[in-house]
Amino acid sequence: AVHEELGPGSDEFFLGSFYRGLAETWIKKLSTMRANLVRFASCQTQWLRLAPLLRGGALPTGPSLTNLQKGDAIFQTLANEMAAAPQTRTCLEDVLGSCGDASNGHRIEQASKYFSEALRFIKADLEDLRRRCVRLLLLEDEELLLLWGSPALSVEQQEVIVSNSLPRLFPGCTKWSFARRGSAGGEKVRRLKSSNSELSRGGTGERRTVR
């Protein structure tokens, strides 16, 4: 609106040309910032989802990896600039762009494009994985992507992801547990290896099942 009412019974107050121009400039700035913020949030969602694939033990190859690396480089730069901004206003204006400056908006769009392209190629890779291991057909794309990227996450996060995937991969099996880490877990593994050796030699070692 170009005017605002001051209250009941009062005359209407019209903005002069200077204040009207100032208001319109800020409307444009805020509109640009909002558009870039929405794009940044969308880009962040893709980055958080695909970033583990860049740091895991089973990296994608070809165009998948190339696009992931390009998108990751742009997004890391944007995120670092945003984190380094000392004030919210500086962050919004410098990182998310202001009126007449679309460079950051363009960078965000480029990063989002690279991540989308990477995801397209990666999903084709998932189909190849499924052809080599039919059991993976039991997992949706989202679950398989999460499982594929899990080696780059903390051990605790890996265990959660694997625990959630196993019942889908092996229907009917509902109870799973991980071998304990540390000396106790190592001793358990050593006992298992010893037992297997006895069995392979025709010994009478009792067969063990590790859950």
Tell me the DSSP string of 132-149: H-GGGGGS-HHHHHHHHH
State the pTM of this model: 0.65
Whether 68 has a pLDDT exceeding 70, the answer reads: yes
Q: Which two tokens stand for residue 139?
A: 């997992």
Whether 116 has a pLDDT exceeding 80, the answer reads: yes
User: Buried (b) or exposed (e) across 138-156, using 16+ Cβ within 10 A?
Assistant: ebeeebbbbbbbbebbeee
Q: Which two tokens stand for residue 167?
A: 């019942």
State the DSSP H helix or E strand holding residue 48, giving kind and residue range, or none if neither: helix 17-55
Are 138 and 171 spatial neighbours (Cβ–Cβ below 8 Å)? yes
Q: How far is residue 96's CA from residue 35's CA, in Å, rounded to a whole number?
A: 9
pLDDT attached to residue 7:
52
Q: Which of 118, 142, 11 is nearest to 60 (CA)?
A: 118
Residue 70 binned pLDDT confidence (cut-offs 50, 70, 90): very high
Whether 111 has a pLDDT exceeding 60, the answer reads: yes
pLDDT attached to residue 71:
94
Q: What percent of the chain has pLDDT over 70?
A: 71
Q: Which two tokens stand for residue 130?
A: 């499924």
Q: How far is residue 25's CA from residue 37's CA, in Å, rounded to a whole number?
A: 18
Cα 78–chain centre separation: 15
Whether 149 has a pLDDT exceeding 80, the answer reads: yes
